[in-house]
Amino acid sequence: MNNIGIIAKYQHHDAKPIVEQLVTWLGRQKKAVFLDADTAGLIGMKAGYPKPKIPPLVDLMIVLGGDGTLLSVARLMENRDVPILGVNLGGLGFLTEVTLDELFLTLEKIFKSEYTPDARLMIKAQVFRQGERVVSSYCLNDTVISKGVLARMIRLEVSINDQFVTSMRGDGLILATPTGSTAYSLSAGGPIVNPMVEALIFTPICPHTLTNRPIVIPGTATVQVTVTSREDGAMVTFDGQVGFTLRPDDVIEVKAAEHKITLIRAPQKNYYGILREKLKWGEG
């Protein structure tokens, strides 16, 4: 790994000193460094790159921030097999496991190929309007179809692998990966699914019919959701960060992406330990 990408949450008060230190340290290791324009500007460098241009240039992507920053970077990776090291600038994250204290030791191990890759399923979401695709996005956590700003329910019709499942009314529907099972889906009553499981999670949001419950479906499934509400204003959002306004009869198709994304596990941490710490299991 000789070409290293760095994308930081540049607004964070700790970002500037750690980026400066990291760039200097990588230079001593004779690594080429590629920063996005905002991160480069943070330390007074002019040679920054647009974020989407960085993944094809690098062998490793370092993300400095929180889980939200990592989610935004994951969507840029598309089909590129570039591992991501998530470094948390605050508390422990579900995705950004590595702390600042562990950063340089972890990088030393990575450069010696002494690390554990963690392949995560991503989903590809597409919106079709009158048979034509109008938007698509990769997601690491989830695709969410939700009602508009008014306090009225959205009507949806759901099929899985062209088999009709249900017509539902409610605040919306979450289609999540196992990685996303600890995000919005969890707060809506969905199950926690270990990221090693090849599955998708179908979680209704405040359904009108209380027997509409979350379902775990095979990772090979294709889900099609048709907006049957006659009112405008419904939305689809990708990882909670990018939104698109829906119209009646739009069809949202969600399925596993062709390629997985690779995260690098933090040393001395494991999935269940992170769950225990984040969800405060066993306390009180």
- Are 245 and 129 members of one domain? yes
- Are 21 and 130 members of one domain? no
Residue 91: its pLDDT value, please? 65
- Evaluate whether 199 touches 217 at the Cβ level (below 8 Å): yes
Spell out the per-residue pLDDT of the chain, length 284, in tens: 899 999 999 888 889 999 999 999 999 999 999 999 999 999 998 889 999 999 999 999 999 999 999 999 999 987 788 999 999 987 667 888 888 888 999 999 999 998 889 999 999 999 999 999 999 999 999 999 998 776 688 999 999 999 999 999 999 999 999 999 999 999 999 999 999 999 999 999 999 988 899 999 999 999 999 999 988 889 999 999 999 999 999 999 999 999 999 999 877 788 888 888 888 888 76
- Are 66 and 81 members of one domain? yes
CATH number at residue 139: 2.60.200.30
Residue 167 lies in a domain: yes
Number of helices and strands in the chain (H, E): 6, 18
- Are 251 and 141 members of one domain? yes
- Are 100 and 175 members of one domain? no
- Are 171 and 147 members of one domain? yes
3-state secondary structure of 129: strand
Residue 210: its pLDDT value, please? 86
- Evaluate whether 9 touches 38 at the Cβ level (below 8 Å): no
Residue 220 lies in a domain: yes
Residue 81 lies in a domain: yes
Name the domain count of the chain.
2
Residue 209 lies in a domain: yes
Strand partners, 34: 5
Residue 151: its pLDDT value, please? 66
Residue 99 lies in a domain: yes
- Are 24 and 112 members of one domain? yes
CATH number at residue 8: 3.40.50.10330
- Are 55 and 150 members of one domain? no
- For residue 270, give its domain range: 3-120+260-278
- The pairing of beta strand 251-256 with beta strand 123-129: antiparallel
What DSSP string runs through 150-185? SS--EEEEEEETTEEEEEEEESEEEEE-SGGGGTHH
Start-to-end CA span in the chain (Å):
45
Q: Which are the catalytic amino acids?
A: 67
- Are 102 and 43 members of one domain? yes
- Are 201 and 174 members of one domain? yes
Question: What would the 3-class secondary structure string for 242-281 be?
Answer: EEEECCCCCEEEEEECCCCEEEECCCCCCHHHHHHHHCCC
Residue 199: its pLDDT value, please? 97
- Are 9 and 116 members of one domain? yes
- Are 127 and 247 members of one domain? yes
Residue 284 lies in a domain: no
Q: CB-based contacts of 85: which residues, under 8 Å, 6+ apart?
A: 60, 61, 62, 63, 98, 106, 107, 110, 263, 264
Residue 265: its pLDDT value, please? 84
Residue 196 lies in a domain: yes
In this structure, what token pair is assigned to residue 27?
Answer: 């230079």
3-state secondary structure of 237: strand
